[in-house]
């Protein structure tokens, strides 16, 4: 059995530019991945391809008839020119529709897992080129790392200046529609507004750099879902160095100077909001990912 981790994707900032001719928006974002996430397993002792969804947030996907994991398996089958006969299992640990790229990361993990099952059949470049068929965020998730993302999300460059740092992720449990958030977007920062990051000696220096940017989708998300404001305020009360929403919401994050500080903040927020999803996480964790 092959197991592949599907880490949470966090937008440290997200600037929106103009609408493109294809209906998408141009973006500028600094993307990292976390130590928390979903898991995809592949068991090739099967007569056909199937998918089972388990985990604490599996119920949110029970009525989904076109899961991205199955679509990714179908895409890989086409690219590799092989019939995928495997039992796929998705362990859904992340809240759905939460702004952490969960579905995109699940799809990318499926592509990595199948590339290990059928080594040498598909190149990394082929996966990057084709993954956009599954969604704008899937290409950047194929090899989780630290990426400067532009275009509609299909163009990205590796950033090596950021080290590992500690955070707390908070989600109130209210799913937010990405389409609704973009539909309510009024102010756009635009592209090419942030300087590329330099080496940072402390997390505080990283936080100061990030404060120059913003998440353009945060104001409309807060208007649509007041729970986003509640999460941001809870993080602010926990003495975070920086507080921001990720993606189109509603997961918010705070940066902290140490794992101890992050753990203490998470425990404090959970005491105040025991029904929220709250977890400390290491961001930009530096794990090596490979395509066979």
CB atoms within 10 A of CB 161: 12
For residue 67, the 8-state DSSP code is: -
Residue 85, classed as helix, strand or coil, is coil
Residue 157, classed as helix, strand or coil, is strand
CB-based contacts of 142: which residues, under 8 Å, 6+ apart? 108, 111, 112, 124, 127, 128, 131, 291
Q: Rounded to an integer, what distance in angstroms lies between the CA atom of residue 217 and that of residue 215?
A: 5
Sign of CA dihedral 135, 123, 77, 289: negative
Residue 215, classed as helix, strand or coil, is strand
Q: Which of 9, 38, 106, 216 is catalytic?
A: 9
Instruction: Give yes or no: 211 in active site.
Output: no
Sign of CA dihedral 146, 143, 277, 183: positive
Q: What angle in degrees, to the nearest 10, is found between the helix axes of 68-80 and 124-131?
A: 130
Residue of 125, 180, 178 whose CA lies nearest to 14:
178
Q: Rounded to an integer, what distance in angstroms lies between the CA atom of residue 227 and that of residue 221?
A: 9
Q: Which of 38, 92, 106, 137 is catalytic?
A: 137
Q: Rounded to an integer, what distance in angstroms lies between the CA atom of residue 135 and that of residue 153?
A: 9
Query: What Rg do the C-alpha atoms of the chain give, in angstroms?
Result: 18
Q: Rounded to an integer, what distance in angstroms lies between the CA atom of residue 213 and that of residue 194?
A: 7
Instruction: Give yes or no: 216 in active site.
Output: no
By annotation, the residues acting in catalysis are 9, 137
């Amino acid at each position: 059995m092959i197991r592949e981790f599907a880490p949470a994707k966090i937008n440290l900032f997200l600037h929106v530019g103009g609408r493109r001719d294809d209906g998408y928006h141009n973006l500028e974002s600094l993307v990292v991945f976390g130590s928390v996430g979903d898991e995809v397993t592949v068991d090739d002792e099967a007569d056909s391809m199937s998918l089972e969804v388990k985990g604490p947030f599996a119920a949110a996907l029970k009525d989904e008839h076109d899961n991205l994991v199955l679509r990714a398996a179908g895409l890989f089958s086409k690219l590799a020119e092989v019939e995928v006969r495997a039992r796929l299992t998705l362990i859904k640990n992340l809240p759905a529709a939460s702004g952490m790229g969960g579905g995109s990361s699940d799809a990318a993990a499926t592509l990595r897992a199948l590339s290990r099952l059928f080594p040498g059949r598909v190149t990394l470049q082929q996966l990057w080129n084709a993954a956009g068929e599954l969604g704008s965020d899937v290409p950047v998730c194929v090899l989780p790392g630290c990426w400067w993302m532009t275009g509609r999300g299909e163009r990205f460059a590796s950033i090596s200046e950021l080290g590992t740092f500690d955070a707390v992720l908070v989600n109130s449990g209210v799913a937010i529609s990405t389409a609704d958030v973009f539909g309510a977007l009024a102010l756009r920062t635009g592209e090419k507004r942030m300087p590329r990051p330099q080496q940072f000696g402390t997390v505080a220096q990283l936080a100061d750099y990030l404060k120059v940017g913003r998440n353009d989708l945060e104001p409309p998300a807060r208007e649509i879902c007041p729970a986003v404001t509640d999460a941001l305020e809870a993080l602010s009360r926990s003495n975070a160095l920086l507080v921001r929403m990720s993606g189109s919401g509603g997961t918010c994050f705070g940066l902290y100077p140490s794992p101890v500080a992050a753990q203490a903040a998470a425990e404090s927020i959970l005491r105040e909001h025991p029904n929220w999803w709250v977890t400390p996480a290491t961001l930009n964790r530096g794990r090596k990912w490979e395509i066979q």
